[in-house]
Structure formats: structure tokens, C-alpha cells
Amino acid sequence: MTNRASVQAFFDQATNTVSYLVADPESRQAVFIDPVLDYDHPSGKVSTKSAEQMLTAARSAGLDIVRILETHAHADHLSAAPFLKEQTGAPICIGEHISKVQAIFKPVFNLPEVSGDGSEFDELLRDGDTFAIGGLQARVMHTPGHTPACISYVIGDAVFVGDTLFMPDYGTARADFPGGSAQTLYRSIRRLLELPPATRMFVCHDYKAEGRDHYAWETTIEAQRQGNVHVHDGVSEEEFARMRTERDKTLSAPALLLPSIQVNIRAGRWPRPEANGRRYLKIPLDFDGGPHRDHDKE
């Protein structure tokens, strides 16, 4: 089997998200990882321009897409996985613990149609599962902490870590979402950092660390161990958890949190059209006390 993965990155500046086309150069089999659907929140307009760029790249290279891989149910962008499945026939895959995320958010949005068992996805992956991408060996690592369902994909000589880690000069993912845990995130990161030092690491987001004037998304295990500003070698779990907890208190909710979660826990599928033929997303309201009245009871 080959070991060197061919990796092409697609950066979506609107959401600071990096999607990947990962291929075995010999067999021409490939996967998409964390594809982005273009969504303008103020207008509700949706397009597949970014996903179409990935498709064009794959087709131009003569690649056969065998899987669409999600690292988790993203809270900062909507997934284009259903569109890519329609175009390629490839199954949509995610970690088996997506059921825990569904259990958290199903009542928040009052979504009785959400299964709660992850069956919206074509394949639920477990820690240690392996599959082939042509001659490349792919292995699943359960890396929770940012969410309970986060997984990373070790593909040949590379690992795709989703939101678990960022570039060394930017640090690590937040752990304050429901079901998140700074302590669990630390243990997941330390597990990742036990991979061979030369392993190429690809992150899902970049926000340009202070002093850096360009976006970046590729690093190595060794670089993370030596230089990650939050969790380099020598940082204890207690130190990390204290830092992460305090830092998370200062962060605002992602701009696309509400639309993203209710779509992405459905494997990127939209709500069914209502009687007028239009689809609608929900915004749960929390008045937090105050003078508001329940007008339905007037």
C-alpha cells in the first residue's frame, strides 16, 4: 500500500474553514473532508460554489470519490455533503457519537424528525476503524473535547484533525459547547501528538495568528509538540484546562451556530419544505426573564 497522501486544500474565507480533497495518487481514489456549503445568513441565500470547485478539481484529476468524511457536526459552517453525495454517490461518514450531539440539540430546536441514533448519515465510524482509499490506509481516531463526536482521520502520512487543534501559533479549539470538555480535549490532543513526529497535520480552520499575515493549515506533529502555544510538550492537563476554560469565557458564539447545528446534525440536509414550498430554519428564543409576555396566552 502507498503511504503518501495527495492533499488539496480549499479555503473558505467567509467561515475560515479549510476543506480537503485527499487522494491516493496511484489508484486515483479519493475522499472529500469537511466540505462547505455557501450560506449567506442575512439573506438566507445558499449556493454550492465552493463544493463545485472541489468537484471540478476531482474530476479534472480523474479521481473517484469513495467517501465524504465529516470530522464532527460543525457549528461555524453548513455542510455541502448532501450535494457532493448527489454528484458522486459517495457515502457521508461521521463519528458514531454524533448521536450524543443529536441528543443535546434535538430538544433545543424541537426537531422530532431527527433520529437521535445518527441514521441520517450513511456510515458511523468508531475509534480504530480502518478503510482503504485505493492503496492508502485510513484510520479513525475518536478525539472528543471540542464536541463529544469529534474524530480525526489518519490517512497515509497525514492526519486531519477537524477543530481539535489549530496551527501551532494559534493553539487549540474551544471546549465550551454543550458536551465539550477541556480535560477531554487535552487527552485527545495528547493522543494525537503520539503519532509519528513527521506526520503531516491538516487543520479545519485558520484565523491568522497575531503577527502572521497569511492563512495556513498544514503543520506537523513535531511542530505542534514543540510550539503549540496552548498545549506544547510540558503543559499539564490542569494548566491546559484552566487556560482553556478562562479563554472560552471570553469567546462569542459562532455567527452561524444556530443554522449550522440544526442542519449538520441531519448530515447537512435541510428541513422539509413547508406548505408554501419554502424551507425554514429555527431560531430558539431565550428572553431570560424581563418584560416579555407569552402572547399566545392573551
Domain contains 117: yes
pLDDT, one tens digit per residue, over 22-57 is 999 999 999 999 999 999 999 999 999 999 999 999
Query: What tens digit of pLDDT does each residue of 198-219 get?
Result: 999 999 999 999 999 999 999 9
Quote the cell numbers at residue 178. 454543550
Give me the pLDDT at residue 287, please: 67
Which three cell numbers, joined as nine digits, stand for 274? Answer: 413547508
> Which pLDDT score is estimated for 286?
79
81-88 helix and 49-60 helix, angle to the nearest 10 degrees: 40
Return the half-sphere exposure (C-beta side, CA atoms, 13 A cut-off) of residue 268: 30
Place of cell 424551507: 279
The Cα–Cα gap between 266 and 269 comes to 5
Give the mean pLDDT per block of 10 residues along the chain (298 residues).
89 97 97 97 95 98 98 97 98 98 96 96 98 97 98 98 98 96 98 98 97 97 98 98 98 95 96 94 78 52
Cα angle for residues 32, 78, 204 (degrees, 5° grid): 55
Phi then psi dihedrals of residue 286, to 5 deg: -130, 100
| Residue carrying C-alpha cell 443535546 | 104
Host domain of residue 159: 6-256
User: Domain total for the chain?
Assistant: 1
CATH code at position 231: 3.60.15.10
Are the C-beta atoms of residues 147 and 96 closer than 8 Å to each other? no
Residues 71, 187, 166, 207: is their CA dihedral positive or negative?
positive
By C-alpha distance, which of 261, 247, 201, 242 is closest to 74?
261
| 32 domain residue, yes or no | yes
Query: Is 285 among the domain residues?
Result: no
In a domain, 148, yes or no: yes
Q: How far apart are CA 12 and CA 18, in angstroms?
A: 6
Task: Give the separation between CA 66 and CA 48, rounded to whole angstroms.
Answer: 20
In a domain, 168, yes or no: yes
Instruction: State the first-to-last Cα distance of the chain, in angstroms, to the nearest integer.
Output: 70
* Cα dihedral 59, 64, 67, 72 in deg (nearest 10): -30
Query: Could you tell me if residue 269 is inside a domain?
Result: no
Burial classification of residue 46, based on how many CB atoms lie within 10 Å of its CB (0-12 exposed, 13-18 middle, 19 or more buried):
middle
